[in-house]
Amino acid sequence: MRKHNKNLTATFIGLFTLATGTTLLASPDPRPGQQQQQQQRAQGQQGQQGASHVDLVIALDTSSSMDGLIDSARQKLWDVVNLLAQARPRPVLRVGLVSYGNDGYDAGKGWVRKESDLTTDLDGIYARLFALHTNGGSEYVARAVRDATRDMRWSQEPGTLKIIFVAGNEPANQDPQVQLVGAVQGARQRGIFVNAIYCGADGGGDAVSWRQVAALGNGQYAAIDQNQVVTIATPQDAELARLSSELNKTYVAYGTAGGVRAEQQAAQDKNAQAASAPAAASRAAAKASALYRNDDWDLVDARSRGKDLAKMKAEELPEPLRKMDATTRDRYLDEKAKERETLQKKIAAANGEREAYLKAERARRAGKGAKALDDALGDAIRKEATSAGFAF
C-alpha cells in the first residue's frame, strides 16, 4: 500500500442530470403568456429527443492512500458538469460510480463495489462521493473495469458515447484472477472508452500498466502530480453560493420521495460548500444550467417536461397545491418557473464573470507545476465527445 498520494487534488467526473421527455399536452385555450411557455416546453422536449446520449462511469481507488483522490472528486465534480454543459447538441447524460481497493468491501468480489448504477440523479452521485471512505485494500483495476462494464445498465440507444474513467496508484495489472487485457478489451467490445488516471510519477514502473489500460481502451492516459493544486477562489464565489440557495426555493417537491430529494439538494449544497467556496460556486453554475433536471421530484421541471398535473393523484401533490383549483395551481407554478428563470440568468451572469477571472488566472499560472487532473480529464472528455459528434 502506498502513501505518496495522500493530497491528490484533481477533477472528477461526473456529470449532469437530464431525464427523457414526454409529449406536451397543450391547453385548448392558454392564458396570456402561457402559450409562449408551452412553446418553450415543446422546443425543450424536441431538443431532448434529438440529443445524443452519454453514459459515464467513474471508478475510484478507495484504498488508504487515496484520501486526496476522493477529496478531488468532491471538489471538482461540478466543474466537469459545467464543461459538458457547453457541448452541442445538448447531451442526455447518466453517471455511474464504482469504488475499489477498500478492505471493508466484499473480498469475494475483489474489493470492488458498485456505489451507483448509471443515473441522471447528479445530487445522488454527489452524496455517494461524500459517503466514500478509504481503508487499506488491494487495488484490482481489472476487476473494477470488468464490473463497470458488466454490471452497469449501459444505454442501448444507438450512438451513445460510453466512457469509463479509472484512477488509482498501484500497478493496474495486479489482479490475480481477472486479466487486465481481457477486462479492457471486453469494455471496448461494447463500445466503451476506458481512460486511465495514474496517481503517481509518469517515469515510475507502475505507469506502464496504466498506459496499457488507456491504449487497450482507446482512451486517454494521464499521470498526475498529487501535490498540484487547481482550486482557484474568485470574487464571485460568495454571490453564486447565495443565488444557489435562493434557487432551491423555486423547487416544488411532489410524490412520496419529493421531500427527501429536496432535502438532498440542500444537503449537497452544504457538502459543496464544505469542500470549498469554488466547489459551491461551480455547483451553483451547474444547477442553473439546462443540464440540471429534477422532473422526477420537482413539479416545475416535471411540468416543463410535459407532465399532466390533471392526471396526478391528490396525495402526490404538495399540501398547498391540493387545495388549489387547476387555474390557481398553474399560476403558482408559472410564478415559480419565472423566479427560477430570473435566478438562472443572474447565476449565468455571475458565472460568466467568474469564468473570465478563472481564465485570466489560469493563463497567469500556465507552465507552473505539473499537469493537473482537471486538465487531463477535460482533454479526454473533449476528445471523446468530439469523436462522437459533439462540439464545444
pLDDT category, 93, cuts 50, 70, 90? confident
**According to DSSP H, which parts of 85-177 are helical?**
122-131, 141-151
For helices 141-151 and 207-216, give the axis angle rounded to 10 degrees: 20
* Cα–Cα distance list, 15 to 228, 278, 356 (Å): 23, 17, 23
> Average pLDDT over the chain, rounded to whole?
85
Q: DSSP 3-state helix, strand, coil percentages of the chain (rounded to 5)? A: 50, 15, 40
Residue 364 pLDDT exceeds 90: no
**What is the distance, to the nearest Å, from the Cα of residue 37 to the centroid of all Cα atoms in its chain?**
28
Question: Cβ atoms within 10 A of the Cβ of 178, count?
Answer: 18
pLDDT category, 368, cuts 50, 70, 90? low
* Cα–Cα distance list, 277 to 232, 235, 236 (Å): 9, 10, 10
Q: Which one has a higher pLDDT value, 369 or 12? A: 369
Residue 49 pLDDT exceeds 50: no
pLDDT category, 79, cuts 50, 70, 90? confident
CA distance 134 to 69: 10
Tens of pLDDT, residue by residue over 203-250, are: 888 999 999 999 999 999 998 765 465 689 999 999 999 999 999 999
Q: Which of 272, 363, 286 is nearest to 83 (CA)?
A: 286
Question: C-alpha grid cell for residue 201?
Answer: 510519477
Question: C-alpha grid cell for residue 279?
Answer: 466547489
Q: How do beta strands 218-223 and 161-168 pair?
A: unpaired
CA distance 392 to 382: 8
Residue 50 pLDDT exceeds 60: no
- Residues found in the chain: 392
**According to DSSP H, which parts of 50-140 are helical?**
67-84, 122-131
Tell me what the mean pLDDT of segment 294-310 comes to: 94
What pLDDT does residue 369 have? Answer: 60
* Cα–Cα distance list, 83 to 80, 116, 126, 194, 210 (Å): 5, 22, 17, 20, 25
Cell 488566472 identifies what position? 361
Amino acid letter for position 93: L
CA distance 180 to 26: 54
What pLDDT does residue 345 have? Answer: 98
Per DSSP, 391 falls in state B
Tens of pLDDT, residue by residue over 170-208, are: 999 999 999 999 999 999 999 999 999 999 888 888 999
Residue 27 pLDDT exceeds 70: no
The dihedral region occupied by 254, where left means phi > 0, alpha psi between -120 and 50, and beta the remainder, is beta
CA distance 114 to 137: 16
pLDDT category, 287, cuts 50, 70, 90? very high
